């Protein structure tokens, strides 16, 4: 039998190892044994080579079976997990609903804010060269002199191309009988279409603005004037005088641009029409954008402006050193959120608000997750037996963790589905709250889609992490033997979570109260002028200016019109100023002073008071030749003993006497202190007509005003605003913040209450027996009620102590933005604390009362 | 009867184990199936099926006889359990009743 005693031949090692990995067979490795045996026979029969090939072939063939098998058992387990999850959901439907709704509300808030933040961060990023486009700004202003652009291009090699832009909002454009006041009207250099990515639909962006009388329109504007007809070559009239020929139509600029152009005409034409000198360094009304050479260092470029452009100018003007550095550059993509200069091209947002809103979003999502953790751990007792059972039959801790995390992810998925529905329902309201057109459309926004998946997973895993860790750690012996009844360890952490939740909630309530308080203050504080029952009309054309006396007379004939006045600026926002030595003290140190031009009726119409001297008056014919009023701040800054009768010079060089001192009024928003101001009597040059009306029959009055205006400037569309609305518009960001805070504070309270409700329910359930015994021994209902509620109340009170200082600090910081502000009184804190406590109490009491009134017979019988 | 019938390949496997009596392990089972059906099974498939049948309770197994030909690895000897026998009887009964009365299977004539 020698043949049978052949030596054992080892099958291929690697293949053998693979087989062992795939089919471990509890250490026995019988599969490998079986295969080795066959290999052995094969080697005898056909030779070692074929045996090896066979062995490897078996190994490869085994792989799909291995995979299918693995999957098979996974699915078996998953089926079980799913079954248990669904059973749990059903069995504790209230609890599940609380949990899912809590998570869904948190996610909804998060998604809404995320949409908003994403949109705000996207501003101007769509330009192909966005990272190389910069804007030059001058000191605190966005305006730059006209010749600056030319100088940049000629003298600084890093600058590839420069675009100069002037905005003239409310410009009248006519086509036949169609007249429109164009809000987004721009004078722009041809390079504009080079630097910014504005795709043309017809016409050539290179040459469209070469002709001085060319006009380029956005698609929607072209449609407005010409309907579906081809706009190219058509004639448009600007301000009833200047003819422009359409030379191009471009696709509407996206709304997430810091300026959106609708009508564009050549930059140089502006100077021709207005008789301005394009080389004058004092003509400060252009925005200057440039394209930086690829790879050039923006900072190095910025440092060149001073020696190459500014200093030669200073020297030429005979100024002495040290020369101030007045120009700086800002990246295009940072303008919308980081630039807060005077004369911005449009209203910008503030990165501070973006950060603030993002923090709120995260806080609310956090509260929602805490809620889940809280309720899941509170519930863990019930699942104790299941965990014990699973462990006894061999479940590993890791498997249990996977199971519980899987459950929380399933919850998160359900919550996400709910939340998407809620977002869709809430979007219109939210859009009007933030004044944006946001949409939940994952097709246009693939990041959003990924984001939603990520949030779901994150919430599921984060909220599930703590309960999973805890529950998987249960010891089967104590769970199954029944000694595991109350977890005192878990309750302390749950209380901390309640504490955190309520701290955040109270913080948000205080913020809401403070912001509202400041807004109310803004509305009610004495600004020094009246805002009510005044309508204002913007005036931008000659015929109304020439006929102003007739207009005034006709308006005043109407019985419900009390007074009419014309002025350069309205009193709520006087932004024109001049910097020079007007105090007569120190010629080397110019002091800025704001100015406004107005007619005789301005002071009276706006209810301002003259504290010294007199108002402009028709009784003094000499007033016609030039007179001034100054405010108290100007007198104080100038340290004039007797301002009345002083000689004063207008910025344009006209001189006259100061005849009166106006009591200080807020000539800017309340963000800024009251600056020195003078008012110059000018009955011809004005941009606003203000009309004081009676409160009755306002629509009829407005109709009458419209009739009068149509008579004197027939082609101009009639537009008017109520002055108090104009006034409030200046506090738009604050109002928005107040509303957002309010809305999200309510959400936070809602989620926190859901959590508290769930927690009390379980606390009461856990203590059913205790309550029963207490009642049998004579405890009254109210005692039991106190017993159940006092614990939560204690934590809510403690939450106040945490939230108060943080909120105080945060809100004080915010209020610093205002030169005139409220002090956050103790009342705000008491109210917020009281509200939180009251809500917590109400939430808790439902359960507490229910358990307190329960019949002890039922509760003690439950075993 | 609530449980599902065992599949055809499960039936083959169980029968092979039954025929082999005490000597039913991977190599012999595979040979037996080849002898009976003419099909050669991959070891991967064989193992997966055997393990599943064991989990379902139709087979029991024990380790024995690590020979040198096997590189010192034990054989896993399989045995039919009472449940396995019952399952086989069930499919047989069903099979006979389904096939009863059919003498010869041919394509029906039009």
Whether the CA torsion A49, A55, A61, A64 is positive or negative: it is: negative
Give pLDDT, residue A370.
Answer: 84
Residue with more model confidence, A434 or A204: A204
- List of residues 6+ apart from A330 with CB closer than 8 A: A134, A135, A137, A338, A339
A32–B52 C-beta distance less than 8 A: no
Q: Which residues of A touch B26 (CB under 8 A)?
A: 30-31, 33-35, 37
Q: Are residues A378 and A499 in the same domain?
A: yes
Residue with more model confidence, A772 or A262: A262
pLDDT in tens, A793-837: 888 889 999 999 999 998 898 888 888 888 888 888 998 888 888
Whether the CB of B82 is below 8 Å from some CB of chain A: the reply is no
ipTM for this prediction: 0.80
Q: How far is A4 from chain B (nearest CA, A)?
A: 10
**For residues A694-723, average pLDDT:** 89
Q: A126, A119, A106, A100: which is closest to A448 by C-alpha?
A: A119
Q: A168, A173, A167: which is closest to A716 by C-alpha?
A: A173
Main-chain dihedrals φ then ψ at residue A657, nearest 5 degrees: -105, 150
Last residue of a domain, one of A75, A104, A130: A75
Test mutation, A37, A51, A73, A76, chain B, max B CBs within 10 A: A37
**How far is it, in rounded angstroms, from Cα A840 to Cα A845?**
8
Q: Are residues A707 and A827 in the same domain?
A: no
pLDDT band with cut points at 50, 70 and 90 for residue A536: very high
The residue in chain A having the minimum alpha-carbon distance to the alpha carbon of residue B78 is A30
CB pairs < 8 Å spanning A and B: 86
Q: Are residues A657 and A690 in the same domain?
A: yes
Q: How far is A24 from chain B (nearest CA, A)?
A: 11
Last residue of a domain, one of A50, A75, A100: A75
Q: Are residues A519 and A546 in the same domain?
A: no
Closest partner residue to A31 (CB to CB) among B47, B66, B68 is B47
Q: Are residues A694 and A551 in the same domain?
A: yes
Any idea which residue has 């944006």 for tokens? A436
Q: How far is B67 from chain A (nearest CA, A)?
A: 9
Q: Are residues A270 and A152 in the same domain?
A: yes
Q: Are residues A171 and A318 in the same domain?
A: yes
Structural domain contains residue A87: no
Q: Which residues of A touch B53 (CB under 8 A)?
A: none
Structural domain contains residue A125: no
Domain count, chain A: 4
What would the 3-class secondary structure string for A743-790 be? Answer: HHHHHHHHHHHHHHHHHHHHHHHHCHHHHHHHHHCCCCHHHHHHHHHH
Structural domain contains residue A331: no
Q: In the 8-state DSSP scheme, what is residue A342?
A: B
Q: Are residues A183 and A285 in the same domain?
A: yes
Q: Are residues A846 and A794 in the same domain?
A: yes
pLDDT in tens, A571-621: 988 878 887 778 777 766 778 889 999 999 999 999 999 999 999 999 988
SS3 B37: helix
pLDDT in tens, B73-109: 778 888 889 988 988 998 888 888 888 877 777 776 6
**Structure pTM?**
0.75
Q: Which residues of A touch B27 (CB under 8 A)?
A: 34, 37-38
Residues 88-107 of B with CB under 8 A from A: none
pLDDT in tens, A747-796: 888 888 887 887 777 777 777 778 888 888 888 888 888 887 787 788 88
Q: Which residues of A touch B65 (CB under 8 A)?
A: none
Expressed in angstroms, the distance from the first to the final Cα of chain B is: 38
The residue in chain B having the minimum alpha-carbon distance to the alpha carbon of residue A18 is B44
Structural domain contains residue A192: yes
Expressed in angstroms, the distance from the first to the final Cα of chain A is: 75
Q: Are residues A62 and A176 in the same domain?
A: no
- List of residues 6+ apart from A699 with CB closer than 8 A: none
Rounded to 10 degrees, the C-alpha dihedral A775/A776/A778/A780 comes to 20
Structural domain contains residue A850: yes
Count CB atoms within 10 A of the CB of residue B106. 6
B76–A28 C-beta distance less than 8 A: yes
Structural domain contains residue A110: no
Q: Are residues A189 and A217 in the same domain?
A: yes
Any idea which residue has 């927690």 for tokens? A759
Structural domain contains residue A766: yes
Whether the CB of B30 is below 8 Å from some CB of chain A: the reply is yes
The residue in chain B having the minimum alpha-carbon distance to the alpha carbon of residue A13 is B71
Give pLDDT, residue A26.
Answer: 64
Q: Are residues A301 and A396 in the same domain?
A: no
B48–A65 C-beta distance less than 8 A: yes
Structural domain contains residue A175: yes
Whether the CB of A20 is below 8 Å from some CB of chain B: the reply is no
Please name every residue paired with A138 in a beta bridge, in sequence order, or none if there are none.
Answer: A141, A327
Rounded to 5°, the CA angle A33-A36-A42 comes to 145
Of A221-235, A238-252, A467-481, where does mean pLDDT reach its minimum? A467-481
Burial of A379 (0-12, 13-18, 19+ CB in 10 A): buried
Whether the CB of B74 is below 8 Å from some CB of chain A: the reply is yes
Last residue of a domain, one of A25, A45, A75: A75
Residue A354 has pLDDT above 60, yes or no: yes
Q: Considering chain B, what is the average pLDDT of its residues?
A: 83
Q: In terms of residue numbers, what domain contains A662?
A: 542-712
**For residues A216-225, average pLDDT:** 93
Tokens of A699: 């629509």
Whether the CB of B7 is below 8 Å from some CB of chain A: the reply is no
Please name every residue paired with A144 in a beta bridge, in sequence order, or none if there are none.
Answer: A286
B66–A36 C-beta distance less than 8 A: no
**For residues A488-503, average pLDDT:** 74
pLDDT in tens, A610-643: 999 999 999 988 888 889 999 999 999 888 888 8
Closest partner residue to A61 (CB to CB) among B42, B67, B74 is B42
Q: Which residues of A touch B45 (CB under 8 A)?
A: 61-62, 65
Structural domains in chain B plus CATH codes: 8-94 (1.10.10.10)
Give pLDDT, residue A788.
Answer: 78
Closest partner residue to B68 (CB to CB) among A8, A61, A65 is A8
């Amino acid at each position: 039998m020698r043949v049978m005693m052949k030596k054992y031949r080892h099958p291929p090692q690697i293949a053998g190892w693979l087989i062992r990995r795939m089919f471990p067979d509890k250490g026995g490795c019988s599969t490998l044994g079986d295969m080795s045996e066959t290999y052995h026979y094969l080697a005898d029969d056909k030779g070692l080579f074929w045996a090896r090939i066979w062995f490897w072939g078996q190994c490869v063939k085994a792989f799909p079976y291995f995979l299918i098998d693995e999957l098979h058992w996974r699915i078996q387990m998953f089926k079980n997990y799913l079954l248990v999850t669904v059973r749990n959901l059903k069995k504790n439907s209230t609890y599940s609903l609380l949990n899912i709704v809590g998570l869904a509300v948190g996610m909804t808030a998060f998604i809404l804010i995320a949409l908003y933040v994403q949109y705000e961060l996207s501003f101007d990023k769509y330009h192909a060269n966005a990272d190389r486009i910069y804007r030059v700004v001058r000191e605190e202003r966005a305006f730059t002199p006209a010749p600056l652009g030319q100088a940049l291009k000629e003298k600084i090699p890093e600058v590839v191309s420069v675009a100069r832009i002037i905005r003239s909002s409310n410009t009248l454009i006519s086509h036949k009988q169609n007249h429109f006041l164009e809000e987004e009207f721009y004078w722009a250099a041809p390079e504009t279409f080079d630097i910014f990515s504005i795709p043309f639909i017809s016409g050539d962006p290179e040459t469209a603005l070469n002709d001085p009388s060319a006009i380029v329109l956005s698609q929607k504007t072209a449609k407005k004037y010409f309907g579906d007809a081809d706009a190219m070559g058509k004639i448009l009239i600007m301000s009833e005088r200047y003819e422009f020929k359409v030379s191009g139509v471009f696709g509407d600029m996206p709304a997430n641009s810091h300026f959106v152009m609708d009508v564009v005409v050549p930059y140089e034409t502006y100077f021709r029409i207005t008789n301005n000198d394009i080389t004058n360094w004092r003509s400060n009304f252009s925005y200057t954008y440039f394209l930086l050479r690829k790879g050039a260092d923006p900072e190095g470029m910025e440092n060149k402006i001073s020696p190459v452009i500014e200093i030669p100018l200073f020297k030429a003007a005979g100024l002495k050193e040290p020369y101030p550095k007045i120009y700086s550059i800002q990246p295009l993509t940072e303008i919308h959120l980081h630039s807060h200069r005077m004369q911005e091209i449009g209203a910008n947002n503030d990165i501070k608000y973006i950060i603030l809103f993002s923090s709120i979003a995260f806080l609310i999502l956090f509260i929602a997750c805490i809620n889940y953790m809280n309720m899941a751990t509170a519930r863990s007792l019930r699942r104790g037996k299941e965990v014990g059972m699973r462990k006894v039959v061999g479940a590993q801790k890791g498997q249990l963790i996977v199971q519980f995390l899987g459950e929380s992810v399933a919850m998160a998925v359900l919550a996400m589905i709910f939340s998407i529905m809620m977002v869709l329902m809430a979007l219109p309201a939210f859009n009007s709250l933030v004044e944006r057109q946001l949409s939940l459309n994952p097709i246009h926004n693939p990041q959003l889609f990924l984001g939603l998946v990520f949030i779901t997973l994150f919430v599921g895993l984060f909220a599930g992490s703590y309960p999973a860790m805890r529950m998987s750690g249960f010891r089967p012996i104590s769970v199954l033997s029944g000694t595991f009844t109350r977890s005192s360890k878990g309750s302390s952490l749950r209380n901390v979570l309640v504490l955190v939740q309520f701290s955040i909630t109270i913080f948000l309530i205080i913020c809401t109260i403070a912001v509202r308080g400041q807004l109310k203050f803004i509305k009610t504080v004495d600004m020094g002028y009246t805002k009510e029952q005044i309508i204002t009309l913007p005036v931008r054309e000659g015929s109304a200016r020439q006929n102003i006396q007739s207009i005034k007379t006709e308006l005043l004939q109407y019985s419900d019109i009390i007074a009419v006045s014309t002025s350069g600026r309205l009193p709520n926002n006087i932004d024109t100023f001049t910097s020079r030595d007007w105090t007569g003290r120190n010629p080397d140190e110019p002091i800025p002073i704001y100015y406004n031009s107005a007619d005789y009726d301005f002071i009276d119409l706006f209810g301002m008071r003259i504290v010294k001297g007199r108002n402009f008056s028709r009784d003094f014919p000499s007033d016609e030749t030039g007179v001034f009023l100054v405010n108290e701040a100007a007198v104080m800054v100038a340290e004039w003993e007797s301002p009345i009768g002083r000689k004063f010079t207008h910025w344009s060089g006209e001189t006259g006497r100061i005849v009166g001192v106006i009591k200080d009024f807020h000539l800017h928003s309340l963000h800024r202190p009251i600056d020195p101001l003078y008012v110059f009597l000018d009955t011809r040059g004005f941009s606003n007509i203000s009309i004081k009306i009676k409160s009755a029959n306002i629509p009829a009055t407005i109709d009458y005003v419209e009739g009068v205006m149509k008579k004197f400037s027939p082609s101009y569309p009639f537009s008017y605003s109520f002055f108090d609305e104009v006034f409030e518009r200046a506090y738009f960001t604050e109002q928005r913040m107040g509303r957002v805070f309010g809305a999200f504070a309510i959400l936070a309270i809602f989620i926190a209450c859901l959590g508290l409700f769930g927690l009390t329910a379980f606390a009461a359930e856990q203590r059913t027996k205790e309550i029963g015994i207490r009642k049998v021994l004579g405890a009254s209902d109210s005692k039991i009620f106190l017993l159940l509620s006092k614990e939560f109340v204690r934590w809510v009170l403690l939450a106040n102590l945490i939230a108060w200082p943080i909120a105080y600090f945060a809100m004080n910081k915010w209020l610093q933005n205002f030169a005139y502000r409220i002090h956050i009184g103790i009342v705000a804190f008491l109210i917020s604390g009281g509200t939180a406590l009251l809500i917590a109490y109400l939430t808790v009491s439902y359960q507490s009362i229910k358990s307190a009134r329960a019949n002890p017979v039922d509760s003690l019988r439950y075993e | 009867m609530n449980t599902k019938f065992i599949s055809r390949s499960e039936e083959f496997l169980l029968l092979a184990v039954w025929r082999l009596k005490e000597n039913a392990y991977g190599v012999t089972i595979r040979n037996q199936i080849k002898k009976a059906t003419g099909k050669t099974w991959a070891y991967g498939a064989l193992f997966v099926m055997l393990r599943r049948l064991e989990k379902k309770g139709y087979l029991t197994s024990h380790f024995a006889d690590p020979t040198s030909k096997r590189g010192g690895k034990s054989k896993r000897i399989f045995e039919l359990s009472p449940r396995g026998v019952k399952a086989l009887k069930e499919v047989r009964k069903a099979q006979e009743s389904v096939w009863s009365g059919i003498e010869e299977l041919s394509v029906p004539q039009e």
